[in-house]
Amino acid sequence: GSLGYSCSSGVFSRTDSATCGCATGYVLSGSSCTVSTCTVPSTTGITTATVNSGSGSLTCDSANNFSTALALPYTCSNGTFTYTGNSTCSCADGYTLSGSSCVITSVSCSGGTISTPTIFGTSYKVHTFTSSGTLTCTAGGKADILVVAGGGGGGGDAAGGGGGGGVVYKSSQSIASGSISITVGSGGIAGVGTNATIATNGGNSSFGSSIIAIGGGAGGRYNGGSGSSGGSGGGGAYIGGSSGAGTSGQGNSGGSGGSSNAKAAGGGGGGAGGAGVAGGNDSTSSYGGSGIGYSMVSESISYYGGGGGGGRFDGSGQSASNVGNGGGGQGSTGCSGVSAVAGTSNTGGGGGGAAAGCQNKGAAGGSGIVVVRYAN
């Protein structure tokens, strides 16, 4: 007699002594097994999709029924619809069935400061978080999300500017119903003098656990201090301090510090839109890197994550115009000049670096922000 058996090549499946068929997810075409597809009449607006599991040629004759029964359960998807089982047709995550079509789910959430602007012809509901909180959604769907971390503090005493906070923007992201924790990072502490207070990085900001922006790096302090790495890196201090690195996709590196010269400057902090400028060896202070702009709450562009300017070593008091777009603060000049300027709140701007001597105090970084919007 014969014994039953089962074997598979990953494409063909053979079971018992006289049966040869196609494996899960394949259909026999002539003498070959080909990937099964889910074919839907054009009147439903659904395109052909690939079968991920199951067997047989799948044909949908409406949004809820299949005209061909299957031997095994299956799932197929075209990015909008998903089909699961022998007789179930449903919408993918972020879509709701309307007749025979899947439409984007109407999101409904609370939390943060709410506004309802019309931006370039589209009506939105916008949730703005300037401090940590919770986004609570009774219905999930697709949303645009902007997460900006806190900017780094400017270094003390002939120092580098703080790096801008990391900036992450995600368009048309799926959000589920329920509560989502929102964290808004604080700005980094300013450096004072050579060792009195050392500047710190800005705090991270996050949307749940899925989107995390890294805080900006602190500016380096006197005598070759290095800028710290972060969302964007801090600038290096006077006498050749190295710059801090930025985080890929969130920011850029800071500028290195000037060499041993009585008029040298610390490097500018990096920004989300560009690297910080290296410290020069003349009376010109170094610029922080520019920020990056988005029209999240209105048709006007708001800039985020600019780097702080570097401080100068000399005491001539010459003004320095070195504020990068995105809230980065100006670095200080000498005793008769300007003090370092803090990064702008809720932009993630880096703090300005300090000059030497009586203007040896840097400035704090600006706090971050989280903005969520969806079609209203």
Burial 265-304 (b: 16+ CB within 10 A, else e): bbbbbbbbbbbbbbbbeebbbbbbbbbbbbebbeeeebbb
How far apart CA 232 and CA 230 sit, in angstroms, is: 5
Classify strands 133-139 and 122-129 as parallel, antiparallel or unpaired: unpaired
Q: What are phi and psi of 52, to 5 degrees?
A: -95, -25
For the record, the structure tokens of 176 come out as 């589920």
Are 137 and 178 a contacting pair, CB within 8 Å?
yes
CB 234 within 8 A of CB 162: yes
Task: Please indicate, yes or no, whether the overall pTM of this predicted structure exceeds 0.85.
Answer: no
What tens-digit pLDDT sequence spans the chain (376 residues)?
A: 444 444 455 555 554 445 566 655 555 666 666 655 554 433 333 344 444 443 334 444 344 344 333 333 344 444 444 544 444 455 556 666 665 555 666 789 999 999 999 999 999 999 999 999 999 998 888 899 999 999 999 998 888 999 999 999 999 998 988 999 999 999 999 998 777 789 999 999 999 999 999 999 999 988 889 999 999 999 999 888 999 999 999 999 999 998 866 667 889 999 999 999 998 766 566 889 999 999 999 999 999 999 999 887 665 433 344 555 777 888 777 666 678 899 999 999 999 998 877 667 899 999 999 999 999 8
* Signed CA dihedral, 71, 74, 78, 82: sign only: positive
Query: Please, what is the end-to-end C-alpha distance for the chain in angstroms?
Result: 70
CB of 151 closer than 8 Å to CB of 184? no
